[in-house]
Structure 1
């Protein structure tokens, strides 16, 4: 199923996308797409609902982030062999982990704000996945049992803040609006192989990223198991798994986003996003 959240910022309601592309309201069944609603048994109950009995949402409402109540937004760096090569980095012997502030999370088509002082705001289409039940010390063989579903994640990055201002990457990744996720949370039964999904990103209509999750170094199952050795993963936590080549930092000369630029991105079966980049005021 394709779950989503719709409505004004801070007042989103849970819904799903039916087979005709219409939004159906789920607020009569769950308060939001968060916490216990993401557990396997809860998702199974939602999947058993006769979709035709759910109210149709009229018009084209704003879509919010596809999951609520995210406690951790964990990102994996340099996780595509071809992206590592374009940045001049070597593939790490273990996953590079950094955190993105949950205050960066916005809807898939919301404006992205270029922070004050930024000269190197960059794009990164990424496969995201959402945890459905608490994971701690789980095996790789069992890891996907803890995944509620998959989504498009845009890991917007300010490269100067990330790499030229000392310390960790987090401050270049966590600016407000730097974490669009959605449009949908696609349950794992609809994703035959998360390690074989085409993914793309355009800047002002020009395709700059055109890759596949098959070049990921560390796959979804491995990442769930690996992360759970260091911290508990909780329902609603989002993990963004890295980007294929074609980021602005890797271009010669480097190319970065400016006010008025429009970025479109998508992943096979998971939907698309579209953001206009605006100045902070």
Structure 2
């Protein structure tokens, strides 16, 4: 079962679907996915983002060695938008690329969690597209706010999927298309730091809470995107997330 949060006729609803064409609203009404506005399917607490968690992506960015420990930074909820929404690309930037990522949603509070117990603390999964504007990048290990905390630059969704519906989250195919052309493929099995390791690592020095979201990184295949591009990021079994790049209204 897949879950969504949508806007329909001026009201916000929780919804579920089995076939991704018809949504069942919490009031019992059935509606087409074409008649609703998708919102982020998770109300976030803290958003953790992994940098360089795939060796091929690290090499793509000219790193000779993969990180020895997780490179983690935080993201604000202002960055999140829903499925089929629009992401703003500033007029004056030269390189803005997508990042297809599996997002892990924490289901209960915990600290000092052992790796073997990590999945007990997971509620489920969704898809994220964590855009990066390389023009503003000061340090790959610590991206500044203009790189990773810009409004509209993290589409997420369309659906939240219960953890029990994804038997092996460490063996899922990731795919990105731009205007229908495949530009990025990879697999979660190639993560440098696994989901269970990341939960153990983060909880070793801070409390994880229900609603925390962990964006687990992206494989190689970073291609510049431009105004008008339609970008789809897909994680096998979790969902296909679509959004469009636009210019700021005051600069268009």
RMSD, aligned CA: 2.2
Q: Matched residues in 2 for 1:95 and 1:10: separation?
A: 42
1:264 corresponds, among 216, 229, 232, to: 232
Equivalent of 1:193 in 168, 172, 175? 168
CA distance in 2, matches of 1:165, 1:221: 24
Give me the whole-angstrom Cα distance separating, in 2, the residues matched to 1:77 and 1:130: 18
Corresponding residue of 1:80: 54
Alignment deviations for residues 207-261 of structure 1 (CA, whole Å, 9 cap, x no partner): 110111111011111111111122222111111000011012xxxxxxx222111
Retained in 2: the 8 A contact 1:191–1:269? yes
Q: Secondary structure at the match of 1:13?
A: strand
Identify the residue that residue 191 of structure 2 maps to in structure 1: 216
Q: SS of the residue aligned with 2:196?
A: helix
Task: Tell whether 2:25 aligns with 1:12.
Answer: no
Question: 1:37: which partner in 2?
Answer: none
Q: TM-score, normalised by structure 1?
A: 0.82
8 Å CA contact 2:73–2:142 kept in 1: the answer is: no
Compute the displacement of 1:71 (Å): 2.1
Q: Distance in 1 between matches of 2:140 and 2:91?
A: 15
TM-score, structure 2 normalization: 0.91
Q: Specify the alignment match of 1:243 in structure 2.
A: 218
In structure 2, the CA distance between the partners of 1:237 and 1:247, relative to structure 1 (3 Å rule), is same
Name 1:32's counterpart in structure 2. Answer: none
1:90-113 per-residue CA deviation (whole Å, 9 max, x = no partner) reads 211110001122100000210111
Once the two structures are overlaid, the 10-residue window that deviates more, 7-16 or 201-210, is: 7-16
Query: Which sections of structure 2, spanning at least 5 residues, go unmatched?
Result: none
- 8 Å CA contact retained: 1:99, 1:170: no
| 1:11 to 1:155, Cα distance in 2 relative to 1, 3 A | farther
Distance 1:190 1:59, change over 3 A: closer
The alignment covers a number of residue pairs equal to 247
CA shift in 2, pair 1:126/1:167, >3 Å = closer
More moved, 211-220 vs 161-170: 161-170
- Select the structure that is richer in strand: 2
